Structure 1
Amino acid sequence: MTPLKVITYPANGLLKNFFFLIILLLPYSILSQCPNNNITFSSQAEIDSFPILYPNCSEFDYSIFISGNDITNLNGLIGLNSIGNRLEIFDNESLVSIDGLINLSSVENLILIENNDLLTDLTGLNNILFSDSDIKIIDNDNLSSLTGLDNLVQVRSLFLTHNQKLDNLLGLNNLEYVELDLRIENNFLLSSLAGLNNLKYVAGDLRIDGAALPNFLGLDSLTNVGGTLMVKHNGNLLDFSGLEYLNSIGSLDILGNASLTNFNAINLNTSFLSYLSINSNGSLKGLYGLESIGNIINTCNINNNPSLYNLSGLNGLSNVYSISIDQNDSLINLEGLENLEVVTGFLQINHNDRLISIEHLHNVNHIYWFLTILDNQLLFSLNGLDDCNFSLLQSIYIANNPHLSDCAIQSVCNYFDIPNAIISIQNNAVGCNSPQEVADSCGILGVPEIPIEKKISVFPNPFTTSTTIEYELKEISNIQFTIYNVIG
């Protein structure tokens, strides 16, 4: 740097010297400040020049975006302590290290590390302990370690998505609390959750999807999931061991885990769920572990679990908005629903090829929306719903149950007396093959035809655009008017 030259004026020039010096120093003062808007680095040269242009920039108030084919390191950012908005590091095909962020302790909104093909770990984020930002680690093909997040204790949300070589979560050993969602999705080699051993609470959703996990060992300290525990498409998952201390969740969504056999390891102490969905788990045989669930505010879906032979494990369930039991090929009966009392929406029992009996629904006393029993090949009776009150039910649809001959249970018979009742019964066995067959079995006589009175006056008659029909109704009775043509 060239030494500053001060020009001295004759007498009484001291003040002039001072102002001239200020003018000379002004560019150096500007260089020492951070940029006053977002900054994008698209080359290594730009990274390297940052500490030269802004030698004292440590507290940056805006967003930093880093994306460039020749960027190999972030050493030029070593002076940064905080970023006021977003840090996005993406599409850097030559980046091998983010060590240059080692002094960074705070990012306010988002840390995104996405599609950096040569990056193997996260060393450089070591000073981030409590983060108010979302951290998203996505599509880094050679990332095999989360080293660098070792000191992270709390984070707003954490997404680990589609990192092809990530096989464990070591590096998250100090993480205790996630304020929103923790998503671990499509890391196909992930075979262990080791690294999450200190995680206690996820306030939002916990999603584990597309991993090679055999169990949940590593989540030994987890006690609460405030949102949905979502477990999807984990082909090697056998059971829920590792979640023994999990006692509270908001909802449960289990989908497409081909090897999952049971929930025995979990011991929930949750009486209310927002919803329960257990779908397409090919080896699932029972629902033990869910006994504490008493109320489901929205829907309960138990669908397409071909090895499930009963619903034992739902024995505590008493109230549900709607329940769908569909395409469970080995389901013989509804054991597990014997304490269910109220369905405030719909009850749907469809396409369960081996279902013989629904007698375990004997305590259901109200269904408020609609009842559908469709395509259950071996079901022969509706016994179990005998005492249910259908007075508020909008419709009944019973069809394509080839062995179902006994539909004349008391609740169905009573439903024929409900005004505007919608009853569709067809393609079942004789005795339950049409509404009329069921009505006959119920002993319901046809509605007697009431003679039509002839004391009717019509004026004018014939008419062109309008007419008036008068009739004195002396008592409650049926009235029939037939108009044969427009002239009377």
Structure 2
Amino acid sequence: MIKKLLFILIGCIANSVFAQCPTSLIVLETQADVDAFQSTYPNCTQILNGLQIGPATGSSDINNLNNLQGLVQLDGGLNILNNPLLNDLTAFSTLTQLEDIYLFNNPGITSFNGFQGITSVNDIKLEQSFVTDFSGLSNIDDVHKLWIVDDTVLNDLSGLNQLVILNFLELDNTRLTSINSFDLVDQVEWMIIKDNDFLTSIDGFGTMTMVDNLSILRNSQLSTISQSFQSLRHIQNNLIIKGNTNLSDISGFSSIQTVDTIQLDQMIGSQDLSFFNTIIQLRILRVTRVDSITSLNGLQNALTLTYISIENNPLLSDINAIGGSDANFLTGMRIIGNPLLAICDIPVVCNYLSGSASTATINGNATGCASEQEIANECELNVISGTIYYDTNGSGDYSPATDAVVPYYKVFSTHSTGTSTTFSKAYGDYSNYVGTGNINTDVEDLAMFAFTPANGFNNNFTGYGNVASGDFEAQTTNTVQDVSIDLIATIATRPGFTAGYKLIAINKGSVPVSGTIELPYNSNLFTYQTSVPAASTVSTGMLNWSYNLGPFERLRIDVEFLVAQPPVLIGGETETWTATINPIPGDANPQDNVFYYNNNIVNSYDPNDKTVFEGAEILPTELDKYLHYRIRFQNTGTASAINVTVKDTLSDNLDWDTFEPIDMSHDVGEIHIKNKRFIDFDFPNINLQDSTTNEPLSHGYIYYRIKPKQNLVIGDFIDNTAYIYFDFNEAIITNTATTTIVQTLSNSDDKLLKISLYPNPVADIVQLQTSEKIDFAVIMNLQGQSLIETTDKDINVSNLDTGVYFIRVTSDNKSQVLKFIKK
């Protein structure tokens, strides 16, 4: 009984002593705070929720940490910030357990002397640090994350060569001249070495066998990676070597066997890739702006490539090494801007171009490899082309002078390996690339038209290089009147600036139609300036145009308004426009005679963007209606763009069969559907002016509509992103336009995930209040454009313009959309 009472007494004493440490973060911002530590927290030896020494901003007067002696355990992070007078850390010599350490802007701390009792630490983070001596960490062999950034004195890491376990390493903007440590580390998850302008070589990592991601970026003096990574066999994801403009030797990677992605970009490089000859598994290959490379020799064993990008390599003349890769695995190919590359008809390229899923972009190379058509001729690929028209004069054949062409109409060629789909261009002509064997090419009949030949036409191609032609003539089956109107913004609506809009009137019927187009506008917010063609009548708040359209004919009207300045109109507001085409009585499809457009007012904008006009939310009852998408692009370079290509990615939640192009800014536009997921919009010889020479003519756009799949449910969302290529430059990636299926619009009361927002309205930080784990959250504007993506529950929205926004929160495959106001 006495022993039992003694144990209870000892336990009470221990708990009493431990209780002197607070349960929250301890912040010591001044020397007085440090000196008072032992009296404020008597007998505190185990800190469980973090210790901050120094202020988060400004500077402290702390010059010694003597009164912190005696600490044994420090969990939750040790943050030492902004202490210009502090010279050593020996007060921590009694520590035996430390979770994380973060040093920021402490000029007098040059060593880790005082941490000799620590054997393991989770994270070491040094930012604007002055540490040059790591010997105090000599007993540590296990670090989860080592992060050194913006260090102006460190030039050696030799004090860390005892590390055995290192999961994450980032060296960013240091004065390191070489990296010769970490020879005991076997595996690393992430490694980032970037912007170290004094780094000339990387020699460490001699025993490392596996890494998940390895990025070596923009180290301007780095010239060799020849003695390191000799044991590296497997890279789970990415090997990215980019922006190291003096790097010529990367032979240190000569043992790699499997890697998901290799990206070599902006380097001198060697003549070939022979040091990669051990690679037997590679999925994505990108070789861009490698100045000295002449061939891809070394990649002969990479037989399962899924994406190939070979761009702007001035001396490259031979890509035969990748010819044996199986084209059935490929989902994309870009061979662009290699002026000495004349031979591209290697098996993988030919086989890929001949397939229905080809998304190849090939241009800017030497003759023989300057275009898909040139390679098709060399590979003997087959082309079917023709014109789609309406025989207005009854001649029985196509007469360009009198017959009406049918633009933007789907043509599909069906063969044994799938279907190749294209659309007629602005003047009714089309070209479709196909493979071999029996092929049927046809178009879909319209409600009031049938096409001849009734079942399309057949070709039987043996081998490649065949060119066939076939026209489709629309014939009237009944007399139907059907006109439609669309309205899109071509110049973003910004308070105090000129806004541009385009009306698109289309006669979809079988008879000529005359009537009027009406565009009312809010004259308190918009001042009419001009339109082309000119309006028939102009009055305050109303514009009218008279029209006369034959079958399949289109009328495009450009309108400009001066937008009111704040505070009359501010960014974040929405202005509704309604365009009407008359007559409506007797029209076969009166619902498309009126078009509603909720126009988002912005303060600034990206000229290369993607917008879904229906916005960030739709109801389940709207799944049978079209979503309207607009992609804008602008040449902001210093010379005209000869060719522009826009690659659009269709969400899996969209019904590909309902895709319908409505309009494009330039008549040279071509459309090709790839694998029911990708759409290529090609503008060959567009000669798009640059914005410095002619700002109005530097813009272009694509406008189409498509329906969601009918089986979507509440919480499903539709994400779309476009990739814009100007000549041989890298892609400009647009925002992601997102639309979510919701139970009620702006459903802040939706309890699917039991999430609420606080505060709302918000100025700086909006909090997601929920007990659920957040997988990710996306903040969108009223047009469905993704602005912020995060996994945090506290989200900084201070950089957003004033206005209304949606946030879609996803957790465990459930999704909820809420609305908030940014003040």
* Shorter-normalised TM range: 0.7 to 0.9
Q: Does 1:285 align with 2:271?
A: yes
State whether residues 161 and 184 of structure 2, in contact with CA within 8 Å, keep that contact through their aligned partners in structure 1. Answer: yes
State whether residues 18 and 44 of structure 2, in contact with CA within 8 Å, keep that contact through their aligned partners in structure 1. Answer: no
Q: Does 1:257 align with 2:244?
A: yes
**CA offsets per residue over residues 56-114 of structure 1, 9 Å max, x none?**
21111111111152112322222111122121111112221111112222233x31111
Alignment of 1:389-404 (within 5 A): 398=371
Aligned twin of 1:331: 316
Q: Does 1:164 align with 2:152?
A: yes
Report the AA paired with residue 421 of structure 2.
Answer: A
**CA offsets per residue over residues 321-376 of structure 1, 9 Å max, x none?**
22211111111121321322134321001111221212444576446340111111
Aligned twin of 1:447: 470
Aligned twin of 1:95: 86
Q: Does 1:176 align with 2:145?
A: no
Aligned twin of 2:294: 309
Cα displacement (A) at 1:183 = 1.0
Q: 1:48 aligns with which of 35, 48, 55?
A: 35
State whether residues 98 and 123 of structure 1, in contact with CA within 8 Å, keep that contact through their aligned partners in structure 2. Answer: yes
Alignment of 1:197-212 (within 5 A): 197-202=183-188, 204-211=189-196, 212=198
Cα displacement (A) at 1:277 = 1.1
State whether residues 223 and 247 of structure 2, in contact with CA within 8 Å, keep that contact through their aligned partners in structure 1. Answer: yes
Q: 1:370 aligns with which of 359, 365, 381?
A: 359
Alpha-carbon separation, structure 2, partners of 1:128 and 1:364: 61
Report the AA paired with residue 50 of structure 2.
Answer: S
Change (3 A) 1:38 1:415: farther
Report the AA paired with residue 223 of structure 2.
Answer: L
State whether residues 263 and 288 of structure 1, in contact with CA within 8 Å, keep that contact through their aligned partners in structure 2. Answer: no
Cα displacement (A) at 1:32 = 7.9
Aligned twin of 1:23: none
Change (3 A) 1:130 1:122: same
Range moving further from structure 2, 96-105 or 256-265: 256-265
TM-score w.r.t. the length of structure 2 is 0.45
Aligned twin of 2:382: 413
Alpha-carbon separation, structure 2, partners of 1:321 and 1:55: 64
Range moving further from structure 2, 233-242 or 90-99: 233-242
Cα displacement (A) at 1:410 = 5.2
Aligned twin of 1:476: none
Report the AA paired with residue 316 of structure 1.
Answer: N
Aligned twin of 2:260: 274
SS in 2 for 1:51: helix
Alpha-carbon separation, structure 2, partners of 1:322 and 1:406: 18
Q: Radius of gyration: which is bigger?
A: 1
Change (3 A) 1:464 1:457: closer
Alpha-carbon separation, structure 1, partners of 2:63 and 2:298: 55
Change (3 A) 1:123 1:443: same
TM-score w.r.t. the length of structure 1 is 0.73
Aligned twin of 1:134: 123
Alpha-carbon separation, structure 1, partners of 2:135 and 2:156: 11
Change (3 A) 1:483 1:294: farther
Aligned twin of 1:429: none
SS in 2 for 1:336: helix
Alignment of 1:50-199 (within 5 A): 50-67=37-54, 68-108=59-99, 110-131=100-121, 133-140=122-129, 142-179=130-167, 181-187=168-174, 189-199=175-185
Q: 2:307 aligns with which of 301, 307, 322?
A: 322
Range moving further from structure 2, 359-368 or 36-45: 359-368
Report the AA paired with residue 293 of structure 2.
Answer: L
State whether residues 216 and 243 of structure 1, in contact with CA within 8 Å, keep that contact through their aligned partners in structure 2. Answer: no
Report the AA paired with residue 467 of structure 2.
Answer: I
SS in 1 for 2:84: coil
Aligned twin of 1:483: 511
State whether residues 157 and 182 of structure 1, in contact with CA within 8 Å, keep that contact through their aligned partners in structure 2. Answer: yes
**CA offsets per residue over residues 125-161 of structure 1, 9 Å max, x none?**
2222222x22111111x32222222111111111122
Alpha-carbon separation, structure 1, partners of 2:467 and 2:358: 24
Alpha-carbon separation, structure 2, partners of 1:38 and 1:63: 5
Change (3 A) 1:214 1:288: farther
Provide structure 1 residue ranges, at least 5 long, that are not aligned to the other structure.
1-25, 383-397, 426-433, 466-479
Alpha-carbon separation, structure 2, partners of 1:239 and 1:119: 32
Alpha-carbon separation, structure 1, partners of 2:154 and 2:242: 23
SS in 2 for 1:135: strand
Aligned twin of 1:36: 23
Cα displacement (A) at 1:447 = 1.5
Change (3 A) 1:423 1:121: farther
Change (3 A) 1:375 1:295: same
Cα displacement (A) at 1:254 = 0.3
Identical aligned pairs, as a percentage? Answer: 22
Q: Does 1:229 align with 2:228?
A: no
Cα displacement (A) at 1:173 = 2.4
State whether residues 156 and 179 of structure 2, in contact with CA within 8 Å, keep that contact through their aligned partners in structure 1. Answer: yes
State whether residues 295 and 317 of structure 2, in contact with CA within 8 Å, keep that contact through their aligned partners in structure 1. Answer: yes
Alpha-carbon separation, structure 1, partners of 2:231 and 2:91: 39
Alpha-carbon separation, structure 2, partners of 1:105 and 1:125: 8
State whether residues 345 and 379 of structure 2, in contact with CA within 8 Å, keep that contact through their aligned partners in structure 1. Answer: no
SS in 1 for 2:229: coil
Cα displacement (A) at 1:484 = 3.6
Aligned twin of 1:219: 205
Q: 1:350 aligns with which of 336, 356, 361?
A: 336
SS in 2 for 1:239: coil
SS in 1 for 2:20: coil
Alpha-carbon separation, structure 2, partners of 1:379 and 1:168: 51
SS in 2 for 1:241: coil
Aligned residues: 404
Aligned twin of 2:524: none
Report the AA paired with residue 264 of structure 1.
Answer: S
Cα displacement (A) at 1:411 = 5.6
Alpha-carbon separation, structure 2, partners of 1:146 and 1:464: 79
Alpha-carbon separation, structure 2, partners of 1:244 and 1:253: 17
Change (3 A) 1:436 1:339: closer
State whether residues 180 and 202 of structure 2, in contact with CA within 8 Å, keep that contact through their aligned partners in structure 1. Answer: no
Alpha-carbon separation, structure 2, partners of 1:85 and 1:116: 20
Q: Does 1:379 align with 2:367?
A: yes
Report the AA paired with residue 43 of structure 2.
Answer: N
Provide structure 2 residue ranges, at least 5 long, that are not aligned to the other structure.
1-12, 386-412, 435-458, 484-507, 515-585, 588-823
Cα displacement (A) at 1:228 = 0.9
